[in-house]
């Protein structure tokens, strides 16, 4: 139940009137992940606008891009490559990290029926592993799909089958995708496939396996085929830890251990945000402008007074996939050369395995040891999620044994990290629900902008989330009239917009109405 003004006494943290010397514009940012911290960095450091960042976590900044440390070992919540088509994002990373942003080679493979397939596909490797008969079946299936594709594919299964054929879809996409999402590929929207593997099909993959050229027409890099990337020396969380330090140095420390309890609004504007710390102490934080990276469902339920029932129902209709990382410490100096491996075998519970030492040697304190991150996709409250840490570490060991990566006596221990709402789910109704929520917020909270992956219920990569944040920040600081919703997941802009990005990859103002109505 939402708190109301009459039910609770607050300590007031009034960012709007705390000092006559502060800028007139005071921005309250909900969440210290990549989007929230990028907006704060742009506003406080480059635009000299007052900023307050509120973060629920008592220790870590960076959200899903944080780096967790245990006994000197550092590990990611998933893997986070630093590569962007936006020059401005690349320059921002360099500005913060300098020489501590390493250039790393990319190597990833797929395990299927105990065999390792290079990913992206390499023709001779795939031919050898599949065998001549299965290869002929896959090519025949691909040819059939190209001759008779599904018109207007709506599901993930239809979209990928059009691109690769039914046989390759079943081998390389179906099992892994259903592990990730916990739902049939027939129920998952084609939007996800179009965003995540855009520009790649079987013919394109074979061409890139045989030829040195790795670009599409016009010189555009196919993101799935990127062969190297940048990476902070001590993990992606190091970048966001540095951003938080810079904000502190500019007089805007991130407010940790601040859970959003309710959002007050009146006269079509947000008037304040109630936060509560782990000791139960509450504060009312006020500003002139607000930026949210909260999951849309949580944001809607925080409004006090409540939004319309239709909006609440739309928020409740949004679904999320949760995530577990089981970091296993193994007494071996070298295990496999990949940054990560996709685990397509249905008998292996984990969906992917990261080798953090191969992302950066500084992720481990002892070069004679290896830290592996086994990733388990689940729903909050299901059997995996509610398993004890001890049982999850045992499951991690079992998966390592099945993969024949080490012996039982070589496993030195493990650490479990649970990540709520790691992935917004793209089902048949998500677009309609997001549209209802957007329309309501634009009408009743005109001083609020939504950014980031969960803030927009959009499967953004880190750089895409940062781009939405830069748009929002410049809208506040300079009245730029940029549209965060025009940033798509390929770091490009939809056709409805113009003058949003110049030829150097920098965000610039535009005056074109592009919001979907």
pLDDT of residue 211: 53
On whether both 200 and 123 belong to a single domain, the answer is yes
On whether both 392 and 438 belong to a single domain, the answer is no
On whether both 264 and 309 belong to a single domain, the answer is yes
Judge whether 163 lies within some domain: yes
For the ranges 3-7, 19-23, 276-280, 383-387, the lowest mean pLDDT is seen at: 3-7
For the ranges 181-185, 399-403, 429-433, the lowest mean pLDDT is seen at: 181-185
The CATH number of the domain holding residue 388 is 3.90.660.10
Q: At 211, list the tokens.
A: 């030829």
Predicted structure pTM score: 0.86
Distance CA(163)–CA(483), nearest Å, equals 31
pLDDT of residue 17: 44
On whether both 184 and 153 belong to a single domain, the answer is yes
Q: Percent of the chain beyond pLDDT 70?
A: 83
Peptide bond into 120 cis (omega under 30): yes
**Closest to 448 in 3D by CA, of 300, 255, 257:** 300
Judge whether 349 lies within some domain: yes
Q: Report the range out of 165-169, 224-228, 398-402 with the highest average pLDDT.
A: 398-402
Judge whether 509 lies within some domain: no
Looking at the predicted structure, is the pLDDT value of residue 511 above 70? no
Helices (H), 73-212: 87-97, 123-147, 156-164, 166-169, 175-181, 190-196, 202-210
On whether both 324 and 383 belong to a single domain, the answer is yes
On whether both 307 and 346 belong to a single domain, the answer is no
On whether both 313 and 435 belong to a single domain, the answer is yes
Looking at the predicted structure, is the pLDDT value of residue 145 above 80? yes
**Closest to 352 in 3D by CA, of 87, 151, 79, 164:** 79
Helix (H, G, I), strand (E, B) or coil at 237: helix
pLDDT of residue 380: 93
On whether both 401 and 363 belong to a single domain, the answer is yes
User: For the segment 436-447, what is each residue's pLDDT rounded down to a tens digit?
Assistant: 999 999 999 999
pLDDT of residue 21: 52
Distance CA(510)–CA(107), nearest Å, equals 39
pLDDT of residue 206: 58
Looking at the predicted structure, is the pLDDT value of residue 106 above 80? yes
Q: Percent of the chain beyond pLDDT 90?
A: 66
Q: What is the largest CA-CA distance in the chain?
A: 77
Span 143-156, average pLDDT: 90
Length of the chain counted residue by residue: 517
User: For the segment 15-33, what is each residue's pLDDT rounded down to a tens digit?
Assistant: 444 444 555 899 999 999 9
Q: At 280, list the tokens.
A: 């139960």
Looking at the predicted structure, is the pLDDT value of residue 490 above 80? no
Per-residue confidence band for 207, with pLDDT thresholds at 50, 70 and 90:
low
Judge whether 230 lies within some domain: no
pLDDT of residue 342: 94
Judge whether 266 lies within some domain: yes
Domain boundary among 424, 454, 477: 424
On whether both 308 and 434 belong to a single domain, the answer is yes
pLDDT of residue 458: 92
Q: Count of domains in the chain?
A: 3
The dihedrals phi and psi of 341, each to the nearest 5 degrees, come to -130, 135
User: For the segment 64-84, what is each residue's pLDDT rounded down to a tens digit?
Assistant: 999 999 999 999 998 899 988
Domain that holds residue 50: 11-62+237-318+429-486
State the DSSP string of 184-227.
Answer: -TTTSBHHHHHHHSTT--HHHHHHHHHSS--B-TTSPBPGGG--
Looking at the predicted structure, is the pLDDT value of residue 252 above 80? yes
The dihedrals phi and psi of 347, each to the nearest 5 degrees, come to -75, -15
Q: At 203, list the tokens.
A: 């013919």
The CATH number of the domain holding residue 481 is 3.50.50.60
On whether both 254 and 176 belong to a single domain, the answer is no
Q: How many CB atoms lie within 10 A of CB 66?
A: 25
Q: At 496, list the tokens.
A: 């409805």
On whether both 190 and 47 belong to a single domain, the answer is no
User: For the segment 27-59, what is each residue's pLDDT rounded down to a tens digit?
Assistant: 999 999 999 999 999 999 999 899 999 999 999
Judge whether 338 lies within some domain: yes
Judge whether 92 lies within some domain: no
User: For the segment 304-340, what is each residue's pLDDT rounded down to a tens digit?
Assistant: 999 999 999 999 999 999 999 999 999 999 999 999 9
Judge whether 303 lies within some domain: yes
pLDDT of residue 93: 97
On whether both 213 and 360 belong to a single domain, the answer is no
């Amino acid at each position: 139940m939402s708190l109301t003004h009459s039910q609770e006494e607050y300590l007031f943290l009034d960012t709007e009137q705390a000092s006559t010397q502060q800028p007139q514009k005071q921005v309250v940012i909900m969440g210290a992940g990549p989007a929230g911290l990028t907006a704060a960095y742009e506003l406080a450091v480059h635009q000299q606008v007052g900023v307050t960042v509120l973060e629920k976590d008592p220790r870590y900044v960076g959200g899903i891009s944080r780096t967790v440390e245990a006994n000197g070992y550092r590990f990611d919540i998933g893997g986070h490559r630093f590569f962007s088509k936006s020059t401005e994002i690349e320059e921002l990373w360099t500005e913060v990290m300098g020489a501590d942003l390493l250039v790393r080679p990319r190597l990833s493979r797929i395990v299927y029926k105990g065999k390792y397939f290079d990913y992206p596909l390499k023709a001779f490797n795939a031919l050898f592993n599949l065998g001549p008969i299965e290869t002929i079946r896959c090519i025949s299936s691909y040819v059939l799909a190209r001759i008779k594709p599904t018109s207007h594919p709506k599901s993930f299964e239809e979209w990928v089958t059009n691109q690769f054929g039914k046989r390759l879809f079943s081998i390389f996409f179906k099992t892994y995708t259903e592990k990730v999402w916990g739902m049939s590929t027939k129920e998952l929207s084609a939007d996800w496939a179009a965003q995540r593997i855009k520009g790649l099909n079987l013919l394109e993959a074979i061409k890139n396996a045989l030829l040195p050229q790795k670009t599409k027409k016009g010189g555009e890099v196919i993101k799935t085929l990127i062969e190297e990337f940048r990476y902070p020396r001590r993990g992606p969380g190091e970048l966001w830890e540095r951003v938080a330090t810079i904000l502190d140095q500019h007089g805007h420390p991130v407010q940790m251990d601040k859970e959003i309890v309710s959002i007050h609004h009146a006269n079509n504007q947000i008037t304040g945000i109630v936060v509560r710390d782990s000791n139960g102490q509450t504060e009312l934080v006020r500003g002139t402008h607000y930026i949210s990276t909260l999951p849309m469902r949580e944001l809607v339920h925080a409004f006090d007074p409540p939004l319309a029932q239709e909006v609440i129902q739309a928020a409740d209709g949004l679904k999320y996939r949760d995530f577990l990382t089981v970091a296993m410490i193994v007494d071996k100096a070298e295990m496999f050369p990949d940054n990560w491996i996709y685990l397509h075998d249905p008998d292996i519970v984990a969906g992917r395995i990261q080798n953090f030492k191969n992302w950066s040697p500084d992720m481990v304190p002892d070069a004679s040891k290896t830290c592996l991150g086994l990733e388990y996709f689940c729903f909050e409250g299901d059997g995996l999620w509610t398993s004890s840490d001890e049982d999850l570490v045992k499951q991690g060991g079992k998966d390592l044994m099945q993969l024949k990566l080490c012996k039982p006596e070589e496993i030195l221990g493990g650490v479990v990290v649970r990540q709520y709402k790691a992935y917004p789910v793209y089902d048949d109704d998500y677009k309609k629900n997001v549209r209802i929520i957007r329309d309501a917020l634009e009408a009743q909270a005109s001083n609020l902008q939504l950014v980031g992956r969960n803030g927009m219920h959009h499967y953004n990569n880190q750089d895409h989330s940062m781009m939405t944040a830069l748009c929002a920040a410049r809208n506040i600081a300079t009245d730029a009239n940029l549209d965060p919703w025009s940033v798509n997941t390929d770091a490009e802009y939809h056709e409805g917009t113009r003058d949003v990005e110049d030829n150097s990859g920098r965000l610039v103002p535009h005056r074109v109405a592009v919001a979907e109505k």
